[in-house]
Amino acid sequence: MIRRLLIANRGEIAIRVARTAHEMGIAALGIYSTADEHACHVRAMDEARCIGPALARDSYLNIEAVLGAAHAMGADAVHPGYGFLSERADFARAVLDAGLIFVGPSPEAMAAMGSKIEAKQKARAADVPVIPGYDGATQDLATLRARAEEIGFPLLIKASAGGGGRGMRVVDSIGDFDEALDAAKRESLAAFGDESVLLERYLRSPRHIEFQILGDSYGNIVHFGERECSIQRRHQKVVEEAPSTVVSPELRARMGEAALRAARSVGYSNAGTAEFMLDSDDSFYFLEMNARLQVEHPITEFVYGLDLVEWQIRVASGERLPFSQEQIQPRGAAIEVRICAEDPSMQMLPSTGTIDRWEVPHPWEARVDSGVALGSEVTLHYDSLLAKLIVAAPTRDEAVRRLQHALDRTHIGGLRTNLPLLRWIAQDEAFVRGDTTTSFLAERLDESRFARTAFPREVQILALAAMLRDGALPWRIAGIAIPVALARGDARATLRIDRSPAEALVHGDLTGPLRIIGNGATMHAAVGDIEARGRVRRGERGYAILWEGIEYEVGLAAAPEVESAGGIGDERSGAIRAPMPGKILRVAVAPGDRVEARTLLVVLEAMKMEHRIEAPGGGTIAAVHAREGATVSGGATLVEIES
């Protein structure tokens, strides 16, 4: 049995493998780059060694350095995790040649399935259906163009090596082929060191279905059903679930047997995944075999009641599989979402920063496999995946409800994440009923909803209601209309509030009485006939309002017109007055400074909230009366501006 296991990876997968190793009484040994010295996965290990600088090619992809660490720490086996070296046959061979156990398939099986071209050829020979296409060795432009015209359009150009959406292009006509081919080859060469490609007929709206397989060294091999991974963005999975809503027991048996035939064709052992495209008529086509553990393996663990990492280790240690295919039956449903450091308002560009807020559901609400924690620094050096959130339930309907609840309870600060996208998906009616294909996001998502300038009226209502509830609105004299400027990033909404003894009236884009209808975990409020429901949480700088899957950070900014304490406009038109009593936290200008509209002048703290007081227009600072740390009364002159 393995006693000391080197985990040749980082982040959440390294922690996840270490957890199972510890449960089995195996010492978990880690590696890290200089950028990861204080990373969570290092703390999860019994022992860890630095193997090089931040660049992956000099550390996590450096086979010599990884094996050097293995020997230095007395490892007797290596688990590759996923990504990095996990599907490199030369790494598996190097591990074996070093006298260590490799927790994964044989180098020969990895080499066969690591090439999408060879994998398709093996699958075809094993009577596994494949998408019509070209996977030949001749790769010159003339041959590829001719084959493309034979296959027809739309067409998918796909890198033979690797995955993750890199080296892939969809082509709609022969006129676009040459440019797309050049781009795919360049990307493939840069990412995988191999520019060979294959061509496939592109299915517009299929489902992406994969089968989890597990084999031992004695020829026994079984599958643990399907996972649906149809919701993707740029060919990268976003949401996965098991079982699929459209795979019947009969179809599961047919697809599962095809997956096993593909695996047997290369003598596969250990854990792996056969990926298929499923068309609307239940015809399916083999895509590729992933010769490693998948990111989404936890949903299979929930539905089939096993620890896949444990069985990877047991099989690598020489144990036989103790179960037959007939004994393996799904129970319940599970859904996983990938929480990534990506900015939805910037087309999911990677986001970096130090995590200053980390709130995730309780363990009994959801499983969260994470590689980060409060205080973790997220850089551009590695993959953007922060954590996986997994829910399970007896039925899919209940699993969806649990997912919605768990996402509402998840909050990460210090950098942008894709949580708004995940919350939108979880609430979308097509997802709720299980109607998903690979074109789900392209067809249903309007990404403008994530723009930082978006400031829906419903969010404004919830913000006003929360401020009214907490006494944070700048009331001074009943019956006087007070200007209130709500701020959400770069967006502003200026309203006027008139409070009588009986009610608060809103004037502006929203007009009518402000009513708080419900004030529990979810706030229910209205202005006039416009109602809004959302979760409202008070933060250091305002309110975090979760409405329709998106969390809006809303606070008060000074209104363009600031009135005096008596509610009458100041005769000195350039005087900027405090909208309420408070403490001056910051003075951002000095006499003589030039300012434009919405230039920050002063930050005022009131009611434990920070309020930005901004210039109503352009001009020059004539005088600054505010002093940092000083307490001012409502209506006090803070700054004077000459236009």
Domain ranges, ordered by start, for the chain: 4-103, 106-129+205-331, 132-201, 332-449, 457-557, 575-642
Task: Please give the single-letter amino acid code of residue 455.
Answer: F
What is the per-residue pLDDT for 45?
98
d(CA 476, CA 498): 10
Please check whether the two domains, 332-449 and 457-557, share a CATH topology.
Answer: no
> According to CATH, what is the number of the domain 575-642?
2.40.50.100
The pLDDT mean for the chain works out to: 89
* Per-position DSSP letters for 51-63, written without gaps between them: EE-SSGGGTTT-H
- Kindly list the catalytic residues: 292
What is the per-residue pLDDT for 608?
54
* Mean pLDDT, residues 150-171: 84
* Mean pLDDT, residues 483-492: 73
d(CA 258, CA 255): 5
Query: Which range, 163-177, 245-259, 481-495, 625-639, is most confident?
Result: 245-259
Provide the whole-model pTM.
0.76
What is the per-residue pLDDT for 214?
98
Task: Please give the single-letter amino acid code of residue 64.
Answer: E
Burial of 319 (C-beta count, 10 Å sphere; 0-12/13-18/19+): middle
What is the per-residue pLDDT for 495?
77
CATH tag for 106-129+205-331 (out of 2.120.10.30, 3.30.470.20, 3.40.50.720, 1.10.3720.10): 3.30.470.20
C-alpha dihedral, 180 to 131 to 105 to 50, nearest 10°: 20
In the structure, what pLDDT confidence band is assigned to residue 573 with cuts at 50, 70 and 90? low
* Mean pLDDT, residues 433-441: 95
In the structure, what pLDDT confidence band is assigned to residue 566 with cuts at 50, 70 and 90? very low
Task: Please give the single-letter amino acid code of residue 508.
Answer: G
CB 617 within 8 A of CB 594: no
Whether residue 109 is predicted with pLDDT greater than 80 in this model: the reply is yes
> According to CATH, what is the number of the domain 4-103?
3.40.50.20
Share of the chain above pLDDT 90, in %: 62
DSSP state of 629: T
Query: Which range, 68-72, 497-501, 607-611, is most confident?
Result: 68-72
CB 421 within 8 A of CB 450: yes
The CATH superfamily holding the domain 132-201 is: ATP-grasp fold, A domain (3.30.1490.20)
Q: Per residue in 187-203, pLDDT tens?
A: 888 777 888 999 988 88
Strand, helix or coil for residue 106? coil
What is the per-residue pLDDT for 609?
62
What is the per-residue pLDDT for 189?
84
Q: How many helices (H) and strands (E) does the chain have?
A: 16, 39
CA angle 524, 526, 528 (to 5 degrees): 165
- Domain spanning 332-449, CATH class: alpha beta
Pick the range with the lowest mean pLDDT from 38-52, 314-328, 349-363.
Answer: 349-363
What is the per-residue pLDDT for 164?
62
What is the per-residue pLDDT for 473?
65
Q: Per residue in 238-273, pLDDT tens?
A: 999 999 999 999 999 999 999 999 999 999 999 999
Does CATH number 3.30.700.30 belong to domain 457-557? yes
What is the per-residue pLDDT for 192?
77
What is the per-residue pLDDT for 163?
64
In the structure, what pLDDT confidence band is assigned to residue 477 with cuts at 50, 70 and 90? very low
Extract the tokens encoding 349.
């560009």
* Mean pLDDT, residues 143-160: 92
Pick the range with the lowest mean pLDDT from 2-11, 43-52, 281-290, 447-456.
Answer: 447-456
* Mean pLDDT, residues 563-571: 34
Q: Please name the residue that has the structure tokens 């699929």.
A: 244
* Mean pLDDT, residues 411-417: 90
In the structure, what pLDDT confidence band is assigned to residue 571 with cuts at 50, 70 and 90? very low
Q: Which of 121, 128, 112, 196 is nearest to 158 (CA)?
A: 196
CA angle 308, 312, 314 (to 5 degrees): 115
Burial of 164 (C-beta count, 10 Å sphere; 0-12/13-18/19+): middle
Q: Per residue in 268-321, pLDDT tens?
A: 999 999 999 999 889 999 999 999 999 999 999 999 999 999 999 999 999 999
What is the per-residue pLDDT for 579?
73
Whether residue 160 is predicted with pLDDT greater than 70 in this model: the reply is yes
Whether residue 206 is predicted with pLDDT greater than 60 in this model: the reply is yes
CB 570 within 8 A of CB 564: yes
